[in-house]
Amino acid sequence: MAPAILESLLGRNERAVCRICQSETGIMIRPCACAGTMADIHENCLNEWVSRSKAEKCEICKESYAQAKRFRPIREWTKPEITFRLCLMVASYICAYLSILNILSICAERKFFDRVFVRGYPPRGADWVRIVIAAILLIMDSCIFSILFDKIVGYFARQRVLRFIDNPNQSAK
């Protein structure tokens, strides 16, 4: 264990040189299993190399370059697409939600719960209509919510890009 720590410390103390552009400045990653002076690479240099050579593996150690999905910086995020249909959906969602609240408040006002659940009386005719309307609205609102939720999740997913990262095996060594 001790020599491994020493080795990794020595490795990190060596001046990092990008194996593509030979520069010693900038933040570098160690995306494959290569060690020592061959390990460090600028992410941009690797991007360029991979797009030009179409090689997904390191030709020296034959290991795939480690990648992970990362969020882009906020200023590079795409603007959310606000369409008329989306506005309509949000408006319907809010309207249906308020209507459900309104129906429930009327039921509570008329001591609906007390009458039906405590005393066990059957609901009055008008209550049945309200319950059915509330149920329909609830189903409709759940549908709208699930579509909106998918849209929001999809939007955030589009703000993520595949980035090269340090090979997890590098730090395990």
Q: What distance in Å separates the CA atoms of residue 124 and residue 161, rounded to the nearest whole number?
A: 57
97 CB contacts (<8 Å, ≥6 apart)? 141
Q: Is 39 in the site for Zn ion (CB under 5 A)?
A: no
Q: Is 21 in the site for Zn ion (CB under 5 A)?
A: yes
CA nearest 89: which of 136, 150, 148?
148
| Chosen residue from 18, 29, 107, 144 binding Zn ion by CB under 5 A | 18
Q: Is 16 in the site for Zn ion (CB under 5 A)?
A: no
Q: Is 45 in the site for Zn ion (CB under 5 A)?
A: yes
Residues 59-118 that bind Zn ion (CB under 5 A): 60-61
For residue 44, the SS3 value is helix
| Chosen residue from 29, 30, 42, 103 binding Zn ion by CB under 5 A | 42
- C-alpha radius of gyration, the chain, whole number: 30
Residue numbers at the binding site for Zn ion (CB under 5 A): 18, 20-21, 32, 34, 42, 45, 58, 60-61
